[in-house]
Amino acid sequence: MTNQISDDRANMMLNAALDGELDAMGVLEFERALASDSKLAARYDQLMTLRGAMRASAGTLRAPDALRARIEAMAKQEGTERGAASARPRVAMAAAIALAFVAGATGANIASRLSTPPESQIAMLLVDDHRRALLAAETIDVASSDRHTVKPWFDARLALSPPVVDLSAQGFVLVGGRADVVEGTPVPTIVYRIREHFISLTALPAARFASSAAPGSINGYETQAWSDGGFAYWAVSDLPRPDLDSFAAAFRAGAAANTENH
């Protein structure tokens, strides 16, 4: 599966990571494996998404009050007319109906969550992608400070191709770009640098991924999200919040200027 570890070792590490059983060295080895194996990374992201959706749905659903009232009325009626013993089959059937409702609602809820992941989940996935890139030998797939090189690289490989803006005048130097996988979808990430800090700017299809989340902080990394031109943008960096806000404002202004010029 990877050049560093065998398939069996990768599967063992994947299961251990999902169960939170990796020690510090194991986490580092697993992060390197994810950075070098896009299939393993996609599988890990999908399993994390499924687990998060199931946990979020567990224990939150109940049958509607009207259905519960009908079940209780059926039990009382049967208990009065035939005695408690003869009421059991019908009450059991009613309970089965209620369980079927809850199970169906749970499945529908999970399916909905998987098709439209919550913003907090997207933020966590993108922070993980940013961290994996920093741990990898190379943080980018195409290295160039020329937007006319990075943009065609996206055009040739991905269904999504956002504008690539030159922000060097504002102090944000274009480093290049890479392809990440979010919810099984290959997406473009533009990489900028200011001083010793890297910024990962990922463009997602706005029709599927929300991007109205308030700025947040996850494990020491700041996130910023916005929508523009059919894209849902997420910026991730260890920059102080004011600097990341300045970057977001500069990129939005630059993207708007590029659109006007074309």
The per-residue pLDDT for range 215-242, each reduced to its tens digit, is 788 989 999 999 888 899 999 999 999 9
User: How distant is the alpha carbon of residue 221 from its chain centre?
Assistant: 15
User: Pairing state of beta strands 173-182 and 142-143?
Assistant: antiparallel
Q: Which CATH number is 137's domain given?
A: 3.30.200.100
User: How distant is the alpha carbon of residue 168 from its chain centre?
Assistant: 29
Tell me: do 164 and 251 sit in the same domain: yes
How confident is residue 55, by pLDDT bands cut at 50, 70 and 90?
Answer: low
Q: Which helix (H) or strand (E) holds 139?
A: none
pLDDT at 32: 80
Last residue of a domain, one of 97, 115, 133: 115
How far is the C-alpha of 30 from the C-alpha of 37, rounded, in Å?
A: 10
Q: Show the domain range for 45.
A: 7-57
User: Pairing state of beta strands 185-194 and 231-237?
Assistant: unpaired
Residue 11 pLDDT greater than 60, yes or no: yes
If one counts the domains in the chain, the total is 3
